[in-house]
A and B are shown apart, each in its own frame.
Chain A
Amino acid sequence: MSVVVKKDESGVYQRVVLKNAAPHHYVNVCLVLEDESTKLSGVEFKLFIVSGLKSLYGEVGAALPFDVLKYDEDKRSALLRVYSRGLVKLWSSLTLLGSYQNQACAFRVLQVSPYLLALTGNSRELQLD
């Protein structure tokens, strides 16, 4: 949603106010499983998220386009990108996803931002010596 405010028609400057203009939202998530030793490949990870979307939002929800930009197999953490209007659907289905192959699981959403650069600075992992 963008709001353009023109201060003065004949004036020399023009003020433009943009709200939530970024088309994508970037989500940093981590999957926590009951059995820590299970390994998930990148494809399995994406399929798992799609199945969560499908159970909550049906076929239309499962068609929501999102990308896994980075995936770390050991820590099971990933960087997802989704269109801004689909953020609520994705986040709510990640919240309600409870079990992976009969074991309890949970998605921890660590960071969400419309700008990718903002995800680099993370005060949670800040090490103060």
Chain B
Amino acid sequence: MVRVKRRYLLCEVNVSKRSDLLQLDDRAVATAVRAAVALTHGDYGAAHCLIGFSVKYLNAHTGMVFLRFPKSCYKLLWSALPFITSIEARGKKIPCFLNCVHVGGTIRTFQKFLIRYNTQQLHRMLPKCKDEEEKQQVREAILQCNLPGGKKEASEDELESEEDEEE
């Protein structure tokens, strides 16, 4: 009807060294996306990026980025994302690539997807755990995620503690 329609893109930032991931912040990702769009689609693409584009959420521990685009031009801007080779954060250039995981129209569907995705990641981590203590923690985290009010923050906290221990 009279609602402003947007498309949200969930991307995963892949870096070679996990310690670099913690230095990302949302403004650095936004400038990297704008630069890639300006390079690939010129002034026309840069103008599309001006209104309605923003980085909604960034999780430095898991490397998940939430991008918001207007519905009319999201395909054009999406096509420029594979051309991002590095993100400059705090003076350092971090070589990385963005991997798009999910496209959706509302943040609520994304929250549900993110919970499912994080539980899948925890399941994948379980066989990789080195000792019994970590396995117990991961099992507890998975059980917590399946709660009816399954909070996003709970699963993420477990996830980041796992990764800190594995480093």
Q: List residues of A whose CB falls within 8 A of some B CB.
A: 54-61
For chain B, what secondary structure do more than half of its interface residues adopt (helix, strand, loop), or is it mixed? Answer: helix
Contact of B43 with A60 in the complex, beta carbons under 8 Å: no
Which residues of the partner chain B approach A60 to less than 8 Å between Cβ atoms?
Answer: 40-42, 79
Docked pose: A56 CA to B79 CA in angstroms:
17
B45 in the interface (beta carbon within 8 A)? yes
Q: List which B15-56 residues lie within 8 A (CB) of chain A.
A: 37-45
Whether A56 lies near B40 (C-beta < 8 A) is: no
List residues of chain A with CB within 8 A of the CB of B37.
58
Q: Which of B37, B40, B42 has the most CB of A within 10 A?
A: B42
Provide the residues of chain B in CB contact with A57, threshold 8 Å.
41-45
* Residue among B40, B43, B79 with max Cβ neighbours from chain A (10 Å): B43
Cβ of A56 to closest chain B Cβ, rounded Å: 5
CA–CA, A58 and B43, complex, Å:
7
Tell me the complex Cα distance, A58–B37, Å: 8
**Closest CB of chain B to A92's CB: distance in Å?**
9
CB distance from A30 to the nearest CB of B (A): 24
CB-CB under 8 A from A61, the residues of chain B are: 41-42, 44
Q: Is the CB of A55 within 8 A of B43?
A: yes
CA distance A69 to B42 in the complex (A): 26
* Other contacts beyond A55-B42, A56-B42, A59-B41: 6, CB < 8 A: A57-B41, A57-B44, A58-B39, A58-B41, A58-B42, A59-B40
